[in-house]
Amino acid sequence: GYKDIPRRLTPSKTRFPQPIGKVEIRHLLVAWLLLSFCFSLRYVFGAPSIFPLMFIISLGTVGAGFVLHELTHKFGAQRYGFWAEFRVWPWGLIMALMFAFASGGTFIFAAPGATYIAPRIYSLNHSTKIIRRQSGLISLAGPLSNIALAAVFLIISGFDGLLGLVGMIGFQVNLWLAAFN
């Protein structure tokens, strides 16, 4: 009966992560590619010859930050027994493109989607205070992953040449993602 249901959702070391399904992978890829394009679009207007290079750098820096951010939400939610999946928001993708094009690539409104979460179990025994706390921690996990990644990119930015450029861009993008979220 209901007495067998745990009083609260607690982290479980025995729970296996819910796999990332084909639809979720497709949504992550679409959002990643579009965000990378938006973040490198300014070079189409200002220095078209280096756009391909900057797009590749954006794929790495924006991609690392965006995908890590969303997967940190997902796996953090699963740690508390929540269901979690990333889904694109089509209007968010359209707005990201519109703002990027309208500003010449200098302003990106990035809301390509979200990792949706929900507790797997609802019962009278579950405290909404505990679920709110866990939801807050899950929400905080994404921006914290961007701050940690920004620190790694800051170290890389100390190198010369292309590696330093990748580090500088990765640092800036991940701080922006953390602040925006």
Per DSSP (E only), the strands in 54-137 are 82-88, 113-119
For residue range 148-166, what is the model confidence (pLDDT) as tens digits?
A: 999 999 999 999 999 999 9
User: To the nearest whole number, what is the mean pLDDT of the chain?
Assistant: 87
> Taking the CB of residue 102, how many other CB atoms lie within 10 A of it?
11
| DSSP letters for 112-156 | -EEEEEEES---TTS-HHHHHHHHHHHHHHHHHHHHHHHHHHHHH
Per DSSP (E only), the strands in the chain are 82-88, 113-119
Under a CB-based contact definition with an 8 Å cutoff, are residues 70 and 146 in contact?
Answer: no
For residue range 90-107, what is the model confidence (pLDDT) as tens digits?
A: 999 999 999 999 999 888
Strands 82-88, 113-119: pairing kind = antiparallel
Closest CA to 95 of 103, 83, 87, 84: 103
At 105, list the tokens.
Answer: 């690539």
Apex 68 CA angle, 66 and 44, nearest 5 = 25
Under a CB-based contact definition with an 8 Å cutoff, are residues 147 and 175 in contact?
Answer: yes
- Amino acid identity at 151: A
For residue range 97-152, what is the model confidence (pLDDT) as tens digits?
A: 999 999 998 888 888 999 998 876 655 555 677 788 888 899 999 999 999 999 99
Determine which one of 54, 70, 141, 166 is catalytic.
70
Cα–Cα distance, 166 to 153 (Å, whole number): 8
Under a CB-based contact definition with an 8 Å cutoff, are residues 87 and 114 in contact?
Answer: yes
pLDDT-derived band at 14, boundaries 50, 70, 90: very low
Active site residue 70: yes
